[in-house]
Chains A and B, each alone.
Chain A
């Protein structure tokens, strides 16, 4: 492969020099050296993919706290709605801390916004994508380091604009994270539909631009900058997942960005893409023009359904790597794993209509979406079977990484199976916009993705900082989160079947929902437990920076290229230019050097060494 050989010599000038410098870094002096770089260019406006990845990670962990606080506000309202709400209630002093219903709509809107756009997407693609891609493929940095830096710094305007949204009248956008027009299109429609909605849309655009920059960079880097010997089918599944995610983003994001601009234009320039004629809201003048609100739903979900996989695939990839390492066993069915990820991505583009089964859509089209949506369960099922197959016959190390990864699989089974219910149009008609949906996507996005991320933090933390995170705290964090998570979200399935609609500030004024109050209070207690448990993660993360056990290059005895680099890797990553000799999952291989159960990709040794067959 010609592209590989060119990479090895470095695609940009400084890399060779950096390789030499890298030797110092094994002494644990922290990141990059020399060049007279100032603090700002080293740690703030850094073009080093590792620094950017860590910046992303810290930002998203901060945002996790914000999003979690908003979520607890939502939970509190559902459990003790007419009483003083802690913290947020301070905004409603005369009301005795009883929040208003529009504030509640803001809470869940901004919770979703923060969690999706500022936590999950950036923590996967931004933090781990950035940190891992060059290390795992044996590159010295991203293809476009400056673009990479910009992709991080475009997050901050987004955070700033979302923050402005909080400061606007109504305390934030309140039309749901889906922002369906006309609620989001007409400023008169709700307190949060004024400038808060404009800031929200502009913030969304910045998130989109940031993701787009990342996506272009990842694709280019993965295609062009792999180390010698790193063929496509020797790439770890994490890289495959990041690659597919980048493609998804590249194709889906422009649609959302366009839709966002159209909505901004509707709101500020008087266009009528989404606004039909003659609508009178809040006794404002009737609307003019012949727009179609359903157009937004098509455009929005054309992005946001693939976005669900953007929020899941990288975690799937990382969990595959972690499971394989902790089971000391090759991944079961490497190629089916790759193909199923590709299938998920492909099908992901033709299932968006299932969010609109109860809207006005041609029913024939609805049937098509139903078939494609049901079928997307297939590649997911194949992946689950393969993960179980990976653990099957493994020699499991029950550490935090394994626990979180197994939780990923276990929770993903629940989230995946509950998805089949809503893929079926008639059943979806009933459960649409009930808590069943809320249960489903929290099982996928929190139960699966976030447990994957917790595992990944534990797993790659030594590579990031050269120290291990505490296993004890990690396990305690896992235990509390796991209990709190299931206690919070499993009952939501039952609430949904019982017909409790989502986004209700006070469901209990409906007699048929009255008896569900107890269950909601139980869920809120679990949610508080889970929320508090995250401080363990935060504490563990911060304290281990200084007090964690220092580790060598490969504390987990893992195979990937990243473990051949120093911990933490210096600027330019590898002190010895890596050459890839085999796939990433050769654990417990009979061909491995004597006495070792791992066989690193860079390891030229081995009994009867021969070129590894492509499986």
Chain B
């Protein structure tokens, strides 16, 4: 039996090599089928919700943010979503329109879709209008005539969601393997990195030039992408074009906001609708059905929608504020020259009880202060597993060794000033802005910048705390 099959196979193959070849190529092509889709994963805590609450959170997120391959361009978010957007300008007709742009993020290229955000075309169900070309006058020409002529002033988006789509492609290429599909810092290469990559889902970024209470500005994110974070595995992506960098930043903001919404929802629902809470409530005399009815009522027409909108609103406000000029740290005085006096004053500040830098960074600024060896508590009030300091994401962080001359947030004086003024967000590094004057902070900056070049001798210890300048004067007067 098998033998005859084999012989038939032999004759078939040798008789029709072309057919056999085609079959082989088909087999090869079949390998490419069954393409998987990237997926957003849910944060820790999601699993603890009762199944109905889980599906609510899942659907709410999917409705407003979509999936990685089908990103939803939600107008509510303060993100550059579209290739360009604006209002229809003078003399629109069915084949072309002029646009008064309110934002232009990417070049308008043939083949982009057009989406109407207001006016008669908003509701029309016809084919989307594809951009054919942009004429010399800057008018957008369409491939097919529009179903109706838009009115002047109708809002229009060209390439709707194009920035996010582009950002997502670039993110998948350059960032995803560390920062994760969901921005959760759980990408395949993340687990062995020290320090761990940033988890965007709390909306917190460490190195910013905004004041302590603010989120990161776009310029801060751009600087990190351009220069990397020295001393970590975040490399410099200096050679990305401006458009590429912009698209990545917008996508990172998108992931941050998505993560924050998820975080808020999971936290809010966790109070009453986690598996544990439900169990407690049932133990307390409620019925499962009652709880379910309550939840369904809240979601369907209850105050859940309102709560959701408020959550989103507060998140959006913070991101908008971060890019306002008021959020940016501007020193009240120019940096004084790094004279021995200034450095000595900075050293005194460094050692002062008030700022207590030594508690973490150590007297010799080696990053070995007593705090880095102490048992600390986590957010839940429990002892952390290993001694040392922890950040918001529960990762062990080491205070910077200032003698190495490596400054993760940048080495410009303003970068160090901003670090002192606004702190390092999400970490135990506190903000001194307002606590100390800008002049004092500059002295501290001058001291910190001088640390790598200090001449050290064996036995030098606390006596360095004396301002060096006095020695100099004594020598001079002698």
Contact = CB atoms under 8 A, between A and B. Distances in A.
A83 interface: yes
Given A92-B188, A283-B195, A472 B13 contact: yes
Interface in A182-211: 188, 190-191, 194
A103 B176 CA distance: 14
Contact of B10 (A191, A472, A480): A472
A86 interface: yes
B135 interface: no
A103 B187 CA distance: 12
Contacts of B187: 95, 100
A479 interface: yes
Interface string A76-87: 000010111011
B233 A282 contact: yes
Interface stretch (B31-39, B84-92, B200-208, B356-364): B31-39
Interface residues of B, number: 45
Interface string B184-195: 000111011111
Nearest to B35: A84
Interface in A271-288: 282-284
Contacts, number: 107
Contacts of B337: none
Contacts of B7: 547
Nearest to A189: B192
A103 B188 contact: yes
Contact of B39 (A89, A96, A532): A96
Interface residues of A, number: 44
Contacts of B172: 82, 95, 98
A82 B20 CA distance: 31
Interface stretch (B21-29, B280-288, B324-332): B21-29
B181 interface: yes
A283 B35 contact: no
Of A89, A96, A525, the most chain B CB neighbours within 10 A belong to A96
B34 to A, nearest CB: 7
Contacts of B58: none
Nearest to B180: A94
A207 B230 CA distance: 42
Interface in A12-57: none
A95 B181 contact: yes
A506 B181 contact: no
A529 B176 contact: no
A102 B35 contact: no
A97 B41 contact: no
A11 interface: no
Contact of A83 (B35, B189, B232): B35
A169 B25 CA distance: 35
Interface in A106-138: none
Contact of B189 (A100, A194, A528, A533): A100
B14 interface: yes
Interface in A61-96: 80, 82-84, 86-87, 89, 92-96
Contact of A532 (B2, B27, B38): B27
B24 A533 contact: yes
Nearest to A544: B6
Given A96-B37, A96-B68, A100-B177, A473 B10 contact: yes
Nearest to B25: A529
Nearest to B21: A480
22 contacts: A80-B32, A83-B35, A84-B34, A86-B34, A89-B36, A93-B36, A94-B39, A94-B181, A95-B172, A95-B188, A97-B35, A97-B36, A188-B194, A191-B192, A283-B195, A479-B17, A528-B28, A529-B24, A543-B6, A546-B3, A547-B2, A547-B3
Given A84-B34, A169-B192, 13 more contacts: A83-B35, A86-B34, A94-B41, A96-B68, A97-B35, A97-B36, A102-B189, A191-B189, A283-B398, A472-B13, A473-B10, A473-B13, A476-B20
